[in-house]
Structure 1
Amino acid sequence: MPERNSWPVVLGLTISAKRELRLRDPEDSDDETLPRVKLSPEELEALEREHGGPFPQDFRDFLLHADGWPGVYYDLDLFGSPELQGAGRWPVAEQLLAVYTGEGVMARIGLDPEGVIPVAAGDGNDLVLLIRPGRKDEGQVSWILGGEEYVRAEDYKAFVEFIMTLLRS
């Protein structure tokens, strides 16, 4: 298996892709936002305790390199500690999770609402869920858009790399 890019490389390539999009199509591109400053290991451990245990390794690694990224892809925010503690689009994510559960979307795509953590959301109907450790398919990421699973990534880094490809297309 080939070596994967490190988080600094993935984040740098995503920043570059956002910049390229803005130059290529200034009318239709999103704001040129940047990831937040990373969490310390101690801050991450405290956040994990608040959420009932450790996060999957790729998400942990992301938070140790960037404490979230508001507006990474148009209005889609990658959650960091502020959102995971209830700020920003966290209430939107909770509401979407409840709606998608009530409408049977979660069951249809094989996700247990208790076995996921919202890790990104947008203003509309974008909800990104990370499957908790100890659950079937742990560490995978599901992006639900308009009641349908838009993409299922093998892990959090693959999800961010998918966003990078969207920015480049």
Structure 2
Amino acid sequence: MSATVIADIARIAHWKQVASAHDTDRMLRWSLPRVAASSRRVDEAERALGRPLPKQVRDFLCLADGWPALHVDSDLFGTAELIAGRAQSLTDRPDALSVLDAHGLASKDVVVIGGSEHDLDLFVAVLDGAPTLGGAVLWIAGQEVDQFPTFEAFLV
């Protein structure tokens, strides 16, 4: 992760704390990133997934092991969610399959890196060696909402 992205993560965390102080009714979760995962734990997640994570995602997990409520009510998954299988079960959703198919991708070409338990939001990282969009992140919520060229672009 570049120094700029690390600084951006700190900036986002700071503003989440400021917003939390003003949200006296606690309408939203204002979580901070989790403590970094060890390389061994990230290796374990990759074994559970049966494929390597995109490099930028792996680097992020070694900096922060996920970030609950990164985007409103959507979590950025950490190794616990990846190992438990929460992530990959979401790629079977018809909207996700449709978006992947439109890009010439299959479930095996991506890793779900985040999503919401209450909304349709789903964040999918395309594996580095995929037929198209390698390293990109797709935001899916019933359809493709946005596309980011890299995980770092998605994050900040």
TM-score per shorter chain, which class? Answer: 0.7 to 0.9
Q: Of residues 132, 135, 152 in structure 2, which corresponds to 1:139?
A: 135
Structure with greater contact order relative to length (CA < 8 Å, sep ≥ 6)? 1
1:31-58 deviations in whole A, cap 9, x for unaligned? Answer: 2211111111122122222222321111
Corresponding residue for 1:20?
Answer: 18
Deviation of the 1:119 alpha carbon: 0.4
Q: How many residues align?
A: 153
TM-score (norm 1): 0.77
> Structure 1 residues 157 and 26, CA, compared in 2 at 3 Å: closer, same or farther?
farther
| Structure 2: gaps (5+ residues) | none
Asked if structure 2 preserves the Cα contact closer than 8 Å seen for 1:115 and 1:132, the reply is yes
Stretch moving more, 110-119 or 70-79:
110-119
Counterpart CA distance in 2 for 1:58 and 1:95 is 21
Counterpart secondary structure, 2:135 = coil
Aligned-partner Cα distance in 2 for 1:86–1:76: 17
- TM-score (norm: length of structure 2): 0.83
> CA contact under 8 A between 2:5 and 2:152: conserved in structure 1?
no
2:69 aligned residue: 71
Instruction: List gaps (5 residues or longer) in structure 1.
Output: 162-169
Superposition pairs for residues 151-166 of structure 1, below 5 Å? 151-161=146-156
Residues 142/26 of structure 1: CA separation in 2 closer, same or farther (3 Å cut): farther
- Is the contact between residue 109 and residue 127 of structure 2 (CA under 8 Å) also seen in structure 1? yes
Residue type at the aligned position of 1:33: S
Deviation for aligned residue 1:153: 0.9
Deviations 1:73-92 (A, max 9, x none): 221000011110126xx26x
- Is residue 48 of structure 1 aligned with residue 46 of structure 2? yes
> What residue in structure 2 maps to residue 119 of structure 1?
113
Task: Give the superposed CA RMSD.
Answer: 2.4
Letter in 2 for 1:157: E
Q: 1:53 to 1:105 in 2, by over 3 A?
A: closer
